[in-house]
Chain A
Amino acid sequence: MMDFEIINSYIPRFLEAFRLTITIGWLGIALAFVVGIVVAFVQHFHVPVLTAIAKVYIELFRNTPLLVQLFFIYFGLPKIGFQISAEVCGVVGLGLLGGSYMAESIRSGLEAIPPSQTESAVSLGMTKPQLFWNVILPQAFTISLPAIMANVIFLLKETSVFSAISLMDLMFTAKDLIGLYYNTTECLFMLVVSYTIMLLPVSLVGRLAEKKVRYRMFGD
C-alpha cells in the first residue's frame, strides 16, 4: 500500500512547498481584505464614479476563474510591458479575486444594519463618522465575520491553481514528484495531509472568533 519511507523522503520538498503556499496564500488574503474593505466602503458611501468602477471590478473578478485571471496577469501583462514574478502574480491574482468576494461579504454586513440604528445615533448628536465607526462598522463586521472566514478558507484552497504559473506550491510539488517517480498514492496522501494541516487551524480559529464576536449581539 503506502511506503512511509518514501513519504519521509518527500517531507523536505513538501515543507518547502507548504511554506511557499501559505506565504503567498496569506499575503494574497491580506491584499484581498484591504481591497475588499476599500471597495465595500466605496459602495457604501456611494462615492461617485468609483462606485461604478467597483461594481464592474466585482462582477469581472467574481465571474472569472482564478486560473484565467492568473494567466492574464502572468502572460498578458508582460506583453504590455509589465514584467512581474510568479510570486507577485500569485499574490495579486489571489488578492484581486478575494477582494471581490470580501467586498461583497463586507457590503452585506453594512447593508444588514437597520436604518433605525443610524437614526438613534444621529438623534444622540453623533456625526456621520462617529456613527459609522462606533455603531455601524462593529455590527457589520460581526454579521460579516462568518462570510469573511469562509472566504479565507476558500482562498487558501484556491492557491492550488498556482502550479499553472509554475509556482512551486503543494500541487506543483505533488505533480512533479508523481511525474518523476510514479509514487501517486504517497504524493496524494501528502497533499491531503498538507492542506488539512494548513486549513484545520484556520477553521478552528475562525469558529472561536465568531463565537467571541457574535456572542455580544446574538448570544450563542
Chain B
Amino acid sequence: MDEILKIEQLKKSFDDLSVLDGIDLSVKKGEVVVIVGPSGCGKSTFLRCLNGLEDIQEGRVSLESEVINPVSKSTVNARKKIGMVFQSYDLFPHKTILQNITLAPMKVHKRKKAEAEGEALQLLERVGLVSKKDNYPRQLSGGQKQRVAIVRALMMHPEVLLFDEVTAALDPEMVREVLEVILSLAKEGRTMLIVTHEMAFAKAVADRIIFMDGGKIIEQGTPDDIFEHPKTERLQSFLKTFTYDR
C-alpha cells in the first residue's frame, strides 16, 4: 500500500508546556488508525496539527508531496483533501442541513448548486437524514448533528478523514448510530485517523492502534496486539481503567 500521510519528528508546545514530543507516523492509503490514550496526552492536539489547525515548533506533516505543517500557502490547498469532524459538531447554526453540507463544495470547489445538492441528498440518504434536509441544526439531536457533520466532510471528497472524539458529547444510544457510519466508511477503504475513548469501537474499526501518553507514541500495533498483549506497563495500566473489579 502507498503511504499517504507522513508525520516526521513532530514537536508541539504551548509556551513552556510540551504537548507533543517528537512523533513519527506514516499512514498508508486505506488504513484506519485509531489513537487512544489518557486525557491530556496530546491526541486531540496531534490530530489538529495534521490539518494545520495548530502550528508546530518542529518537524513536518505532509500529505503525499504537499507540506501541511509548518503552515504555509500550500496548507490551504492540502487541507481541502483532509476532512475533519469535531466533538462539538460545529455545524453552521444559521444554515439548513442541506446548506450546511453544500456550502463548502460550492464555495471551495465551485461546484454547481444542483449537482452539489444531488450528491448531498444521496449522502443524507445513506446516513438516514434526508427528511431533515430543510431543518436547522438546533432542531436535530446530537447524534443526527454528528452524522450531518460527517456528511459535510465527505462532500469535499477528502483523501484522509480525521475524527476527534466525535462521540464524546453524545448519549450512549446515539453513540452507536454515529459509529456505524464510521464503520461503514472504513469498509469502503477510506483512510482515517480516529481519536476515541470507545475501546470496543477501536477494536472493531482499527487496522492499527496507537497508544499515546505524555505527548509520545508509547506503543502501537493491531487491535489484538494492543488489547490482548500489551507490552508496556503504561498501556497495561491504561487498559485497566476500562475494567472494573469487585
In whole Å, how far is B43's beta carbon from the nearest beta carbon of chain A?
17
On whether the beta carbons of B94 and A139 are closer than 8 Å, the reply is yes
Q: Which residue of A lies closest to B75 (CB)?
A: A122
Residues of B within 8 A of A216 (CB): 93-95, 136
How far is B219's CA from A87's CA once the two chains are assembled, in angstroms?
77
Contacting chain A: which of B7-15, B56-64, B101-109, B175-183?
B101-109
Contacts A126-B104, A127-B76; A119 near B138 (Cβ below 8 A) = no
How far, in Å, is A141 (CB) from chain B's closest CB?
9
Are B92 and A126 neighbours in the complex by a CB distance under 8 Å?
A: no
Residue of A nearest to B137 (CB): A217
Does A117 lie within 8 Å of B92, measured CB to CB? Answer: yes
Of the candidates A125, A139, A217, the one whose C-beta lies within 8 Å of that of B80 is A125
Size of chain A's interface in residues, with CB distance under 8 A? Answer: 21
- Which secondary structure dominates where chain A touches chain B? helix
The 8 A CB mask of A100-138 against B (1 = contact, 0 = none) is 000000000000000011011111111100100011001
| Number of B residues, CB within 8 Å of A | 27
The answer to whether B67 has its CB under 8 Å from any CB of chain A is: no
Contacts of B76 in A (CB 8 A): 125, 127
Query: In the complex, which of the residues A125, A130, A216, A217 has the most CB atoms of chain B within 10 Å of its own CB atom?
Result: A125
State how many angstroms separate the Cβ of B152 from the closest Cβ of chain A.
7
- Inter-subunit contact B53/A122 (CB<8 Å): yes
How long is the Cα–Cα vector from A127 to B79 in the complex, in angstroms? Answer: 11
Q: Are A139 and B86 in contact (CB under 8 A)?
A: no
Assess the A125–B53 pair: CB atoms within 8 A. Answer: no
A139 touches which one: B93, B103, B136 (CB < 8 A)? B93
Cβ–Cβ contact B86 & A217, under 8 A: no
**Chain B contacts for A121, CB-based, 8 A:** 92, 104
* Across-interface contacts of A127 in B (CB, < 8 A): 76, 108
Query: Nearest Cβ in chain B — how far from A168, in angstroms?
Result: 44
Interface assignment of B153: CB less than 8 Å from any CB of chain A: yes
Known: A119-B90, A122-B53. 20 other contacts (CB 8 A): A116-B86, A116-B90, A117-B90, A120-B90, A120-B91, A123-B53, A124-B83, A124-B104, A124-B108, A125-B79, A125-B156, A126-B108, A127-B108, A130-B108, A134-B103, A135-B103, A142-B94, A216-B94, A217-B136, A217-B138
> What residues of chain A have their CB less than 8 Å away from a CB belonging to chain B?
116-117, 119-127, 130, 134-135, 138-139, 142, 216-219
